[in-house]
Amino acid sequence: MKLIYRADTIIEAQLLVGLLEQSGIAAHAGGHYLQGAVGDIAPVGIANVFVGDDDEVEAREIIESYERGDFTTPDTIDVDED
């Protein structure tokens, strides 16, 4: 396994795991249990995203797209009410 991203929060790490899995890359977010150990300190930078060695290059490309803001939602969503 390769550490490919240090997320600011557990939520961000899970979001990236979801993006990677949607692209067919098995990913794992680590550091969940550390959040409870920090007490009053803000739990920032403790969540890590890991992928298999063979998926590292493709996973880094997806994360670079995420950091550029390529994964956004439209301002409006059309709903077909038929």
CATH topology of domain 2-68: Alpha-Beta Plaits (3.30.70)
Q: What is the pLDDT of residue 71?
A: 75
Non-local CB neighbours of 18 within 8 Å, separated by 6+ positions: none
Q: What is the pLDDT of residue 53?
A: 96
Distances (CA, A) of 70 to 26, 45, 60: 21, 23, 14
Q: Tell me how far apart the alpha carbons of residues 25 and 51 are, in angstroms, rounded to a whole number.
A: 7
Per-residue pLDDT tens listing for the chain (82 residues): 999 999 988 889 999 999 999 999 999 998 866 655 555 555 556 789 999 999 999 999 999 999 998 877 666 666 777 6
Domain residue spans of the chain:
2-68
pTM higher than the cut 0.85: no
Q: What is the pLDDT of residue 10?
A: 86
